Chains A and B, each alone.
Chain A
Amino acid sequence: MARTTVVPIGPQHPVLVEPIHLRFEVEEEVVKGVTPVIGYNHRGIEKLMENDFKKNVFISERVCGICSHQHSTAYSQAVERVMGVTPPDRALLIRTIMFELNRIHSHLLIIGLEADAIGYENMFMQCWRDREIVMRLVEMVSGNRVHYSMNQPGGVRRDINDAQQKEIEAGLKQLEERFADLEQIMRHDQTWNSRLKGIGLLSKKLAMDLGAVGPVARASGVDYDIRSTRAHPYAAYHMLKSFKPIVHEAGDTWTRMIVRMEELYVSAAIVRECISLMKPGPITAEVKGNPNGQAWSRVEASRGELVYFVKGVGKPVMDRVKIRTPTFANIPSLGPMLMGCQVADIPPIVTAIDPCICCTDR
């Protein structure tokens, strides 16, 4: 008779990029239960954000290094909503361009990490080499590779001039060639397919019940992408005509990575469309007074829906900022994904939800 053994993984483990503790109940090689424990990376950022509302932009960026621009966009939007400021169109387009470049590097990162999780070091290196192209583009525009400091309540702080637009387009062309290479591997390579196909299944019903977001939900057939939600427009997505969310039905780990793969192309197309829509004009609107009231804002970060709630009481200091991050919403769906899988399949399944513990714990 099989005996249940408890296998603790994390908070420090070679598979995990960030500290999360997963306690597996294992019978022989089969996972029978999993308990995730979070809170190893808590830095008290929400408390820290009871600070000057203009300085908070820099703190919100530092919630997470990979989705830094997405956090600061969500925060700036929420503050703009409280103060009744509408940023100029050019600012919205610049925000969207940075947003999608941010998504491209985030998705390339996780595709690389997934390859690393299944021991495919060659592909891991290739993804990260290709990621340098987009990192160079963001550095060229914003002056930094990780923390762009592009947003401020009311608009953006740096413009994208014509020369930079041309360079971004050239960079995208170069990137798309690399994407085609990666796609070839992700669709046809035997190592990749045999390790990822059919593991970590999540049905559409479960995905909806557990509130999965982002590529995890979209790989299970849930058509949920804030970028296409016309009821709650943000940044410049309401101006775009070509955008359609990527939705697949299969709901396994392989599909999750394919959704990300196809989103790379979508992001590149969005950046191109935004550049074509750019018209000369101001990049920031004046913000007067102090925030008084409360508002929330949501954006589609690379990992899924990211929600910011802000409350001001007429002082420069924010009363409360609440952040709900996509990984926090995706952790519950790890349970059914991991149930009944082999111990060797744990790393690719956990990596495929793109866990960002830094965001989750804040």
Chain B
Amino acid sequence: MSMLSNSLKNLFSKPATRRYPAVPANIQPNCRGRIEYDMTKCIWCMMCSRRCPTVAIESDKAAQTHKVYRMRCIACGACVEACPTDAITMLEHYADASYAPTIDTYHQEGPIPKPAPKEKPPPCEPSEAPKKA
């Protein structure tokens, strides 16, 4: 198609862009937006803060809090992969824009849960492990 017919076609067709935020953005289902903790599952193994390439997670076991520096987080998903109890999930929507660097604090109430998923599967895992050995 020549440029002229292309231009005419574009002139009478719908715009290629969408009028965000009036129309919602076209976010893909497994988009890496931001991380979210489920504090009931956290067993304080510290793998998330250790694996984070940008030092965006500050974990304090004594105070039972995770601090997530949203401006540092690059949403790479290393912490999500590292978490043994699936306490971290990657949400599709990005962290909201703000005037100051956002620090989200996730606090855990009550005693630290036992590393359940590691002990719960024992019925199958230990029986599998000796087989391999």
Residues on A lying within 8 angstroms of B by beta carbon are 52, 54-55, 58-59, 122-123, 126, 129, 132, 136, 139-140, 142-144, 147, 149, 157, 181, 184-185, 188-189, 191
- Which residues of A are found within 8 Å of B31, using beta-carbon distances? 139, 143-144
B75 in the interface (beta carbon within 8 A): yes
The 8 Å CB contact of B32, one of A149, A181, A191, is: A149
Report the interface size for chain B: residues with CB under 8 A from the other chain.
Answer: 23
Stretch from B1-9, B63-71, B115-123 at the A interface = B1-9
Question: From residue B125, how far is it (CB to closest CB) to chain A in Å?
Answer: 18
- Which residues of A are found within 8 Å of B7, using beta-carbon distances? 122
**Interface pair B2/A58, CB less than 8 Å apart:** no
Question: Across the two chains, which residue of chain A brings its CB closest to B1?
Answer: A181
Which of chain B's residues 73-89 have a Cβ closer than 8 Å to chain A?
74-78, 81
**Interface pair A147/B74, CB less than 8 Å apart:** yes
Indicate whether A149 sits within 8 Å of B3 (C-beta atoms), given known contacts A129-B16, A144-B31.
no
**Interface pair B2/A143, CB less than 8 Å apart:** no
With contacts defined as CB atoms under 8 Å apart, how many contacts are there between chain A and chain B in the complex?
54
- Which residues of A are found within 8 Å of B51, using beta-carbon distances? 54-55
The 8 Å CB contact of A139, one of B2, B16, B28, B54, is: B28
The 8 Å CB contact of A149, one of B10, B16, B77, is: B77
Question: From residue A60, how far is it (CB to closest CB) to chain B in Å?
Answer: 11
A58, A139, A143, most chain B CB atoms within 10 A = A143
The 8 Å CB contact of B16, one of A122, A132, A144, A147, is: A132
Interface contacts beyond A132-B16, A140-B28, A149-B32: sample of 7 additional A-B pairs, CB < 8 Å, sorted by A: A54-B51, A58-B54, A59-B53, A129-B16, A185-B3, A185-B6, A188-B2
B127 in the interface (beta carbon within 8 A): no
B98 in the interface (beta carbon within 8 A): no
Question: CA–CA, A147 to B29, complex, Å?
Answer: 17
The 8 Å CB contact of B53, one of A55, A132, A140, is: A55
- Which residues of A are found within 8 Å of B74, using beta-carbon distances? 58, 147
- Which residues of A are found within 8 Å of B90, using beta-carbon distances? 143
B7, B28, B75, most chain A CB atoms within 10 A = B28
Q: What is the 8 Å Cβ interface bit string for chain B, positions 16-39, against chain A (1 contact, 0 not)? A: 100000000010111110000000
Question: From residue B6, how far is it (CB to closest CB) to chain A in Å?
Answer: 7
**Interface pair B3/A122, CB less than 8 Å apart:** yes
**Interface pair A126/B2, CB less than 8 Å apart:** no
**Interface pair B26/A126, CB less than 8 Å apart:** no
7 contacts between A and B (CB under 8 A): A55-B78, A129-B16, A147-B76, A149-B77, A185-B3, A185-B6, A189-B2
**Interface pair A143/B77, CB less than 8 Å apart:** yes
Indicate whether A157 sits within 8 Å of B77 (C-beta atoms), given known contacts A129-B16, A181-B6.
yes
- Which residues of A are found within 8 Å of B77, using beta-carbon distances? 143, 149, 157
- Which residues of B are found within 8 Å of A139, using beta-carbon distances? 28, 31
Question: From residue B114, how far is it (CB to closest CB) to chain A in Å?
Answer: 28
A132, A142, A144, A147, most chain B CB atoms within 10 A = A144
Question: CA–CA, A126 to B10, complex, Å?
Answer: 9
- Which residues of B are found within 8 Å of A188, using beta-carbon distances? 2
- Which residues of B are found within 8 Å of A157, using beta-carbon distances? 77, 81
Indicate whether A189 sits within 8 Å of B3 (C-beta atoms), given known contacts A58-B74, A59-B53.
yes
**Interface pair A185/B2, CB less than 8 Å apart:** yes
Question: CA–CA, A189 to B10, complex, Å?
Answer: 18
Question: CA–CA, A55 to B31, complex, Å?
Answer: 21
Question: From residue A229, how far is it (CB to closest CB) to chain B in Å?
Answer: 31
